[in-house]
Chains A and B, each alone.
Chain A
Amino acid sequence: MREKWKIFTNGFFKDNPVLIQLLGCCSVLALSVTVQGSLGMGVALTFVLACSNVVISLLRKVIPDKVRIPCFIVVIATFVTLVEMIVEAFLPDLYTSMGVFLALIVVNCIVLGRAEMFASKNGVLDSLLDGLGMGVGYTIVIVAMAAVRELIGSGTFWGLRIIPEGYQIGIVAQTPGGFLVFGIAIAVLVKINNRRGKEYKPEIGCEGCPLQCADKSECQKEEAK
């Protein structure tokens, strides 16, 4: 039981997909503008991640090794289409605010990365827990970033005005703010780790790429150059 709990909570902080593994930065940066929208994205991604992990784990002995990436993509795309339809039908406002990023969960590095790294090697229950845990970890980060950006950038929280009109720093809610807040978040993480005497150096190189496991040899060739 404790082991299962460990798999589930692994994604929260210790092995957080966004802050530690640095996967799926695109959607985190783009959609962390309002708390509502980011929570919607977090839930959508968690759903896709958990479902695709379960299905891929079930199919892990059937899928031939050579064509596994296209197979994973088809499974993921199916669930993404499902989510797209549900959100469009029941939450049209959220659908417009997320725009193309909802469909882009298909190529989200986290989903493909977990399929490749975890679900294709582990049992169904473990994969489900891993998917849910990673999804929660992603949601924590994106909502936290959105809370900061919405408060400073638009002066609101969940649409409620907290900072009076005219005192907000609009740029934080725009594109540069996304990079800036994410950079500062990682710097804080590094600082905390250094305080505790742990060495932590985040770097997006080949490990930032979802196909790193699939094409490790290619990656190393490039590194060697």
Chain B
Amino acid sequence: MKLLGIMFTMIFTDNYVLVKFLGICPFLGVSKKFDSCLGMTGAVTFVMTLASAATWAIYTYIMVPLELEYLSTIIFILVIAALVQFVEIVLKKYMKGLYNALGIYLPLITTNCAVLAVTLLNVDNNYNFLESLVDGFAAGIGFGVALILFCGVRKALEHAKPPKAFEGLPITLVAAALTSMTFMGFTGMAEKLFG
């Protein structure tokens, strides 16, 4: 039940992009085309899940016994950077199809603030291994939900005629404001459902 609660919270009530402002750059940058949305979602979910697992293990078995908790920012970002490189190499060698689909998005993920945030918040929330894993996975899915929803909004926006000063990025941001307003409707639902 708690796992379901985490899942629901990360996808809807605490959606990383639309509620917590994490990972805005890829959100605005990649949401133009549906295909790239899917690719980015896949890559982010994959790396987030792996990073949650890896950082949980490193934190619990190495950093806590050695009392190195204060170094978590440095260590986690290095783990993520290494992990991304590693995943890229493995995919390139063994899974050509997946690499072609996700490859170009992988290097961009190191600096996606949502990934680092997931790992840091897992530690803050004292999640156990399974909870961290679910948290990372759900955060990725939540990112994808926001991205794909917004991709649809942008498609509709292409046919709109905003005032001249609003053309391009400004109207996209206003549309993002409206999209995030819909997610405010989920506020408090997680406590009611999974309390």
Where the two chains meet, the residues of A that have a C-beta atom closer than 8 Å to any C-beta of B are 22, 25-27, 29-30, 69-70, 73-74, 77-78, 80-81, 84-85, 100, 103-104, 106-109, 112, 171, 174-180, 182-184, 186-188, 190-191, 194, 201-206, 208-211, 214-215, 218, 221-222
Q: Nearest 10 CB-CB pairs, A to B?
A: A183-B173, A179-B177, A30-B21, A187-B170, A180-B177, A191-B165, A77-B74, A176-B177, A204-B28, A179-B176
A217 nearest CB across to chain B (Å): 10
The CA-CA distance from A186 to B184 in the complex, in Å, is 24
**Of B44-52, B57-65, B89-97, B115-123, the one with at least 4 CB within 8 A of chain A:** B115-123
Q: Give chain A residues whose Cβ lies under 8 Å from the Cβ of B70.
A: 81, 85
Complex contact A211–B36 (CB within 8 A): no
Complex contact B184–A77 (CB within 8 A): no
Complex contact A186–B169 (CB within 8 A): yes
Chain B interface residue number, banded: 35 or more
Complex contact A205–B29 (CB within 8 A): yes
Complex contact A211–B107 (CB within 8 A): yes
Complex contact B165–A208 (CB within 8 A): no
Given A100-B124, A179-B177, 16 new contacts (CB under 8 A): A25-B24, A29-B24, A30-B22, A69-B81, A73-B110, A107-B116, A175-B21, A179-B173, A179-B174, A183-B174, A190-B165, A190-B166, A194-B165, A202-B169, A204-B169, A215-B107
The CA-CA distance from A70 to B73 in the complex, in Å, is 14
Would you call the interface of chain A mostly helix, strand, loop, or mixed? helix
Instruction: Tell which of A29, A69, A179, A222 touches B104, judged by Cβ atoms closer than 8 Å.
Output: A222
B86 nearest CB across to chain A (Å): 13
Q: What are 5 contact pairs spanning A and B, CB under 8 A? A: A73-B78, A81-B74, A107-B113, A202-B168, A211-B111
Name the CB-closest residue of B to A22.
Answer: B169
B3 interface residue per 8 A CB criterion: no
Q: Give chain B residues whose Cβ lies under 8 Å from the Cβ of A77.
A: 73-74, 77-78
Complex contact B121–A25 (CB within 8 A): no
Q: Give chain B residues whose Cβ lies under 8 Å from the Cβ of A184.
A: 170, 174
Would you call the interface of chain B mostly helix, strand, loop, or mixed? helix
B189 interface residue per 8 A CB criterion: no
A200 nearest CB across to chain B (Å): 10
Known contacts A74-B78, A112-B111, A208-B25; decide if A176 and B171 are in contact (CB<8 Å): no
Complex contact B169–A203 (CB within 8 A): yes
The CA-CA distance from A52 to B100 in the complex, in Å, is 35
Complex contact B71–A81 (CB within 8 A): yes
Where the two chains meet, the residues of B that have a C-beta atom closer than 8 Å to any C-beta of A are 18-26, 28-29, 32, 36, 70-74, 77-78, 81, 104, 107-108, 110-113, 116-117, 120-121, 124, 163-174, 176-178, 180-181, 183-184
Complex contact B184–A100 (CB within 8 A): no
Complex contact B18–A175 (CB within 8 A): yes
Q: Give chain B residues whose Cβ lies under 8 Å from the Cβ of A221.
A: 104
Complex contact B169–A215 (CB within 8 A): no
Complex contact B77–A73 (CB within 8 A): yes
The CA-CA distance from A69 to B21 in the complex, in Å, is 24
B68 nearest CB across to chain A (Å): 11
